[in-house]
Amino acid sequence: MDGVSARTVTILGATGSVGQSTLDLIERNANRFDVLALTARRDVQGLAAAARRVGARRAVIADPSLHNALKDALSGSGVETAAGDEAIVEAAALGADWTMAAIVGCAGLRPVMAALRQGRTVALANKEALVSAGDVMTRAASESGATLLPVDSEHNAVFQCFDRARPGSVRRVVLTASGGPFRSRTLEEMRAVTPAEAVAHPNWSMGAKISVDSATLMNKGLELIEAFHLFPLPAEAFDVVVHPQSVIHSLVEYVDGSFLAQLGAPDMRIPIAHTLAWPERMETPCQRLDLVAVARLDFEEPDLVRFPALALAREVLREKGAKPAILNAANEIAVASFLDSRLPFLDIATIARQVLEGYAPPAPASLDDVIEIDAEARRRAVELVGEYRL
């Protein structure tokens, strides 16, 4: 960015962890950004406070019953308000130069599609967009000329190291995984894992759902599927290695034997800043990496017996079609059930596998198809969870 004119931005999911990190960077560089819209699901006070701080033109709450509360919270601010799912989609379609897509779950699919159709830049922190609807989303981006930038630390690391002009020179993409809080626990010990233990990630500050996904390594499996849609390589060219320090965020191996890796402190503001300023760079307040203090970097193969979710995701990536959408939906229900203490930790992957084995619709051709598959997979997962007796 040259600083001559402010870049217009919209943040979908402004009150979540990624949204808040994005707002932090924007507030530190207020003269470089003009906020068109901020959205949230139910956090009225968080949304209103953020809209006031950054001078957003519009604030949108997904729950229509909270619209009056939002209007009251923004009274006298000059910020326009709206509510409901359609209003979220409209905010995504405002044509911002840069849109942060950070709405968790399939609730983010239609807003992401609306943003992509504007032909601008979409920074993608919503996994479901590419996991559940990868072909549909990438086709929309291609048709509109939109630029899709990955925000996940792993995919952003690959993006920084991948030779997009010569993809044939790349042999393999290796995503790193911290291994989560149960990396060293036995299967027997993992049977008694509680939700509180599962959300206590050793390196990253994340929401409950993604923390549980990290604990099961499902997160890494979903990232393999996402990477397949971001980088033009065959499915078998994507791999995972456990790296407990979370210093190397991912690696790209070239045909000549060279590896390029992106390193940094485990702070989501680093990959967010990369996408926010892209194709340039911007300062961040993040802690600088001290390699001497880190002292060592460890790596190990993921254990697919103790972490069957990763093996399941690899199978799904090979099969493609509707399978990724089914996996994602079933996993969301299973994780929510575990967090509500209605499902044992080790059975999260079991529920996902059972839904995959019992449901085989054709590959989705449109976003409506994806949403229909997602809904049916969730219904089946809910039924299966209901059969559990803890």
Q: What is the pLDDT of residues 214-223, one digit of tens each?
A: 999 999 999 9
Report whether 351 contacts 384 (CB < 8 A): yes
Summarize the confidence of residues 318-336 as an average pLDDT: 96
- Give me the count of residues in the chain: 390
Domains of the chain as residue ranges with CATH:
7-150 (3.40.50.720), 155-318 (no CATH), 321-390 (1.10.1740.10)
The whole-number average pLDDT for the span 87-101 is: 98
**What span, in angstroms and rounded, lies between the C-alpha atoms of 263 and 287?**
12
Mean per-residue pLDDT, 30-56: 97
pLDDT at 203: 61
Give pLDDT, residue 315: 96
**Which candidate, 339, 314, 333, places its Cα nearest to that of 376?**
333
Give the pLDDT of residue 353.
97
Nearest to 369 by CA among 361, 380, 381: 361
**How much is the average pLDDT of 225-237?**
97
Q: Copy the structure tokens of residue 13.
A: 């999911």
The pLDDT value given to residue 104: 84
Confidence of residue 356 (pLDDT cuts 50, 70, 90): very high
Q: How far is Cα 345 from Cα 266, in angstroms, rounded to an integer?
A: 26
pLDDT bin (cut points 50, 70, 90) of residue 202 is low
- pTM as predicted: 0.91
Residues 312, 347: contact at Cβ < 8 Å? Answer: no
Q: What mean pLDDT is reported for the chain? A: 94
* Residue type, position 138, single letter: T
pLDDT band at 128 (very low <50, low <70, confident <90, very high): confident
Average pLDDT over residues 319-326: 96
Q: Which of 198, 222, 24, 234 is nearest to 106 (CA)?
A: 222
Residue 263 has pLDDT above 70, yes or no: yes
Q: Quick one: average pLDDT of 66-83?
A: 98
Strand locations in the chain (E): 7-12, 33-40, 58-61, 80-83, 98-101, 121-124, 147-150, 170-177, 238-242, 248-254, 259-263
State the maximum Cα–Cα separation within the chain, in Å, rounded to a whole number: 62
Specify the range with the lowest mean pLDDT, choosing from 48-52, 125-129, 381-385. Answer: 125-129
- pLDDT per position as a tens digit, 291-314: 999 999 999 999 999 999 999 999
Residue-level pLDDT at 9: 98
Looking at residue 2, what is its pLDDT?
46
Q: Cβ(27)–Cβ(33) under 8 Å?
A: no
